[in-house]
């Protein structure tokens, strides 16, 4: 029961967070001529832009966010501890404690990304 409730809560949070992200314009998509890094399909009509400036289909990103609240490409946090989408707050002043936390999170993201790369490239030296 708790697993189901947790899953529903994660999906609701994903929908809420995806709606906070800006939509890419058709001109942006045409200029990029890119594919969604989640489904590898072309993005011609609809895409969302993350605070770290990565583009994904909204439906793909919604599914991803229901599992993890980080960017699928760079692992940047897409939701801060207050539940806001990073980069959207009006006041950018951070307390020293919050700044330290963000720095620590950035270090952990970098380490996770390196670990993930090792998993993907079995021939790399470890």
E-state strands within 4-126: 48-49, 55-56
Catalytic site residue 36?
Answer: yes
User: CA-CA distance, 57 to 36, in Å (whole number)?
Assistant: 6
Catalytic-labelled residue, pool 36, 52, 60, 71: 36
State the residue for tokens 């599992």. 67
The SS3 assignment for 66 reads coil
Cross-strand bridge partners of residue 23: 48
Helix segments in 21-88, DSSP class H: 26-32, 58-65
Q: Is 103 left (phi over 0), alpha (psi -120 to 50) or beta?
A: alpha
Tell me which residues are annotated as active site: 36
């Amino acid at each position: 029961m708790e697993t189901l409730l947790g899953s529903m809560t994660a999906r609701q949070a994903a929908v809420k967070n995806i709606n906070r992200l800006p939509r890419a314009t058709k001109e942006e998509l045409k200029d990029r001529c890119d594919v969604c890094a989640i489904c590898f399909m072309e993005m011609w009509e609809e895409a969302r832009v993350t605070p770290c400036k990565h583009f994904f289909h909204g439906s793909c990103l919604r599914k991803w966010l229901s599992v993890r609240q980080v960017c699928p490409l760079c692992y940047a946090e897409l939701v801060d501890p207050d539940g806001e989408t990073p980069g959207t707050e009006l006041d950018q002043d951070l307390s020293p404690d919050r700044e330290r936390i963000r720095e620590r999170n950035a270090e952990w993201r970098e380490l996770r990304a390196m670990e993930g790369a090792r998993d993907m490239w079995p021939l790399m030296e470890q």
